[in-house]
Amino acid sequence: MICDFHEYQKYSVDYLLNHPIAALFLDCGLGKTLIALTAIFDLTLDSFLVRKVLVIAPLRVARDTWPAEIEKWDHLKGLKYAVAVGTETQRKVALMNKAQVYIINRENVEWLISKSGIPFDFDMVVIDELSSFKSHRAKRFKSLMKVRPKVNRIVGLTGTPASNGLMDLWAEFRLLDLGQRLGRFIGRYREEYFLPDKRNQQIIFSYKPKPGAEEAIYKNISDITISMKSSEYLKLPDLVINEVEVKLSEKEMKIIETMKKDLIARVKDEEITATNAAALSNKLLQMANGAVYDDGGAVVKIHDKKLDVLEDLIEAANGKPVLVAYWFKHDLERILNRFPAEKLDSTSSIKRWNNGEIPVAVIHPASAGHGLNLQSGGSTLVWFGLTWSLELYQQTNARLWRQGQKNTVVIHHIITKGTIDEDVMRSLKRKDQTQTALIAAVKARIKNIDREVG
């Protein structure tokens, strides 16, 4: 297929060719894989500045999306690739093949560098979803840092660079520029740009930027970073965001309030405990959804209010396919018991969804993320259970609200009133504001186009 490049795509390709270190904050649907591959083709087969490229991506994207893009476009013909996923033997065979591009899933980065026995001789690395390297404690981060000095060119691609706040940026840019812009140590970064926020005596739970820190961070990274938003360059369908409130009975609310205050609640004679804030948050989210795991792992039902609302929303869709996002396993079980729904967890189920053969589909945000196209199958998404992760939230929404969607996209959030659901929605909106400010600060300005990307 012949590619008719948009101006912003040409701009992005040139940016990668002229910046050995680059961070591209590209919104869903802007073609980041195509952009990166076009630059790789030039660097490996035209200018010969690069010999071997390692692409690190989420498993499904590594296995399916990158190979499909290479095969799809005429201008990439001649670019040889190998996909190093699967068993250890399969990965080793792929890595021993002669190619310009080697594609591996991020879970196997540590294996490649520390355990495979294969020399790391890549002179360019592309990290698809740079945000998955936001933790400096993760093994994949530590492993890649060991070999980072050997790499001459590196590209980070993501649409969610700071989904949990600006603290995420340190590890991402530490990988890119070896600490040149935001410092070599996370402690120094914290001291320079942040103040303690939520804390319990000596224990600090979160940090907030110092006055002027956001602008300073943006300025420091701006010379190697550009951002682009799909709404600026792609004709996206209309989007309707809806919050549907669920009101619990006094008895049901009392159970949740007891859990909050005492960290212990008795639900139908089953003891539920939460030993720390994270576990408590988990329990409260489950209870807002209508069921909770007890200490033995059994499911204790509290209410069916969200299921009732979901039934109303499915009926209101009037036969149009509905995609339901769930979080906990018992959410999935209760949904499947109530409705003739099907889980999207395989290539065949995704194909049947896109063919309009599944009226109600359920999907977990962690598996609905990057590179999955579901817009052909429907335009209605219902959040049955919420997630604290802005990245997973935005990526899941973008499965339907993207280029190629022919209908108005409606996203419903079922919110249990007076519960942690309301806190999660507020948190997602707040995180989105922080990330939006970051993206606006490093937006690309493209000549001959009246609009700015950002």
Q: Which CATH superfamily is domain 7-228 in?
A: Tandem AAA-ATPase domain (3.40.50.10810)
pTM for this structure?
0.72
Question: Where exactly does CATH 3.40.50.300 map onto the chain?
Answer: 235-248+303-417
CATH number for the segment(s) 235-248+303-417: 3.40.50.300
Of 58, 382, 437, give the one whose Cα is nearest residue 227. 437
Residues comprising the chain, all counted: 454
Kindly report the number of other CB atoms within 10 A of residue 253's CB atom: 17
Query: What does the pLDDT profile of the chain (454 residues) look like in tens digits?
Result: 888 888 889 999 999 999 999 999 988 778 899 999 999 999 999 999 999 999 999 887 898 889 989 998 999 999 999 999 999 999 999 999 999 999 999 999 999 999 999 999 999 999 998 989 999 999 999 999 999 999 999 999 998 888 778 998 999 999 999 999 999 999 999 999 999 887 776 777 778 899 999 999 999 999 999 998 877 777 778 899 999 999 999 988 988 888 777 766 656 566 666 556 677 888 889 999 999 888 788 998 899 999 999 999 998 888 899 999 999 999 999 999 999 999 988 878 888 998 999 999 999 998 865 557 788 899 999 999 999 888 889 889 988 988 778 889 999 999 999 999 999 999 998 888 888 887 888 887 675 443 333 3
Question: Where exactly does CATH 3.40.50.10810 map onto the chain?
Answer: 7-228
Which residue in this structure is represented by tokens 């539920």?
272
